[in-house]
Amino acid sequence: MSLLNQTHNPELTSWLTSANVENSDFPIQNLPFAIFKRNNASESFRGGVAIGDQVIDLAALSAKKVFDGVVGAALTACSQTTLNEYMAMPASTWSALRSALSQALSSGSSLQSDIESCLIAQSDVVFDLPCRIGDYTDFYTSVYHATTVGKFFRPDNPLLPNYKWVPIGYHGRSSSIGVSGQAFHRPKGQTKAPDADAPTVGPCKRLDYEMEVGIYIGGGNEMGESIAIDQSDEYIFGMCLFNDWSARDIQGWEYQPLGPFLAKNFASTVSPWIITNEALAPFRMAWSRDENDPQPLEYLSSARNSELGAYDVQLEVFIETPKMRDEKQPAAKLSHSSFRHSYWTTAQMVAHHTVNGCNLVAGDFLGSGTQSGPDAAEAGSLLELTGAGKNRLDLGNGETRGFVEDGDAIVMRGFCEKSGVKRIGFGECYSLVLPAK
Ligand code: MN
């Protein structure tokens, strides 16, 4: 079962030299999508594809009319202020545009001058959300995260009995999802210390990040219809980095019995580029369930899911404190893990989300849940890395952190690397915490 084609060929190079630089996030094998415009320009946002240190302006390319048919129609859809219409097109159309762009960017292409005239330096652009996110669902797919966090909230009963049967999730809020560069005020809310008689209201004292993979839905299913596990690739447009900001003290008091609410809906940040599902194909790998654990029910199980359900997306988190900014020190690395450790696959998330007939719509967004690996140092949140704030982290410059403080920025980076395959990157997801209002 091969998902690979000529666009993944590691030997492929571009006439654009910055795309061929070793360790570039955006070689010709990547071709991720974003919504952008030139910084300080009074012009509309529109679709773009990253190549090297440039963005291809897809509206400008569409206007040149060098492509017709399916690819021409795809470029028309990508010229809009959101990618929803493009994401609603069939996966075969996404593939056709990727193939056309790959050929046009390849060394020796006769379309070089047409594309060249549509390039804008990434350093000159600003981003918007890539699509209107209609609905957002956050999953909880790292068993390591679920177990460690469960111990803080329920020492006697960390992993609830449904965890190994159900890909657990909750419906989140879309309106407060922002794109990288987002600055937000520390949330306020109700908290109650375990030994206090009554709660108080005030600024959150335990502000945390969650290192997640974001999954954008393409296509869509009719209400009442389910998406079978082996059909999920037709509905997964692509992935990004996702910081699901969390107020741990608010969460601890409010989360029972209905789950996360105000602890989670004040801000969440996505990286600007959507790495397409097709670009990620070389980094898919076998997924399996420990033989001592319950095996997934039939609708969550397939040979294809076992063969290539997991994605080896490596994830890194850094903190940049005001002192680091002032003293021009690099951001300090907090942890590094991979999406391949996920207890549930993206195919299982899609199949489970629709098993009841829930209709997914192009532009819907799934969070993977915090991706913590098996090793304690691979944890995807400060709650885990500091033992709920008890063991402050040494940042290596004389500073320590228990939770995120005012003025701190959290930076996430992601990439895929494998021998014999061209490395691709996710770019960066940056967000800054301002003092409470
Ligand atoms: Mn989350």
pLDDT tens-digit readout, 164-192: 999 999 999 999 999 999 999 999 999 99
Q: How many percent of the chain have pLDDT more than 90?
A: 97
Residue 211 alpha carbon to ligand 1 centre in Å: 8
The pLDDT tens digits for 315-336 are: 999 999 999 999 999 999 999 9
Residue 245 alpha carbon to ligand 1 centre in Å: 8
pLDDT greater than 80 at residue 274 = yes
In angstroms, the CA 256 to CA 236 distance is 32
CB 96 within 8 A of CB 89: no
Residue 268: how many CA atoms within 13 Å on its side-chain side? 31
| 237 backbone dihedrals φ, ψ, rounded to 5° | -75, -45
Residue 73 alpha carbon to ligand 1 centre in Å: 36
pLDDT greater than 70 at residue 116 = yes
CB 59 within 8 A of CB 145: no
pLDDT greater than 70 at residue 211 = yes
Residues in Cβ contact with 3 at an 8 Å cutoff, skipping those fewer than 6 apart: 233, 278, 281, 284, 308
What pLDDT shows up at residue 299? 98
Residues in Cβ contact with 52 at an 8 Å cutoff, skipping those fewer than 6 apart: 14, 16, 17, 18, 19, 20, 21, 24, 26, 27
Residue 370 alpha carbon to ligand 1 centre in Å: 5
What pLDDT shows up at residue 52? 98
Catalytic site positions = 145
What pLDDT shows up at residue 190? 98
CB 144 within 8 A of CB 374: yes
The pLDDT tens digits for 363-421 are: 999 999 999 999 999 999 999 999 999 999 999 999 999 999 999 999 999 999 999 99
Average pLDDT, the chain: 97
In angstroms, the CA 167 to CA 170 distance is 10
Residue 214 alpha carbon to ligand 1 centre in Å: 10
Helix (H) or strand (E) holding 335: strand 332-338
Q: Where does residue 193 rank: exposed (0-12), middle (13-18), buried (19+ CB within 10 A)?
A: exposed
In angstroms, the CA 355 to CA 362 distance is 18
pLDDT greater than 70 at residue 54 = yes
Q: How far is CA 343 from CA 100, 348, 397, in A?
A: 36, 10, 36
In angstroms, the CA 235 to CA 88 distance is 9
Q: Which of 132, 359, 384 is nearest to 248 (CA)?
A: 384
pLDDT greater than 90 at residue 152 = no
In angstroms, the CA 325 to CA 417 distance is 30
Domains and CATH numbers, the chain: 6-128 (2.30.30.230), 136-434 (3.90.850.10)
Residue 149 alpha carbon to ligand 1 centre in Å: 12
Q: How many percent of the chain have pLDDT more than 70?
A: 100
What pLDDT shows up at residue 75? 98
Residue 170 alpha carbon to ligand 1 centre in Å: 9
Question: What are the respective helix, strand and coil percentages of the chain, to the nearest 5?
Answer: 25, 25, 50
State the pLDDT confidence band at 156, using cuts at 50, 70 and 90: confident
Q: How far is CA 256 from CA 154, 164, 178, 251, 261, in A?
A: 11, 20, 27, 9, 10
pLDDT greater than 80 at residue 49 = yes
Residue 51 alpha carbon to ligand 1 centre in Å: 30
Residue 164 alpha carbon to ligand 1 centre in Å: 18
State the pLDDT confidence band at 153, using cuts at 50, 70 and 90: confident
What pLDDT shows up at residue 2? 80
Please name the amino acid found at residue 392.
R
pLDDT greater than 70 at residue 1 = no
What pLDDT shows up at residue 242? 98
Whole-structure pTM value: 0.98
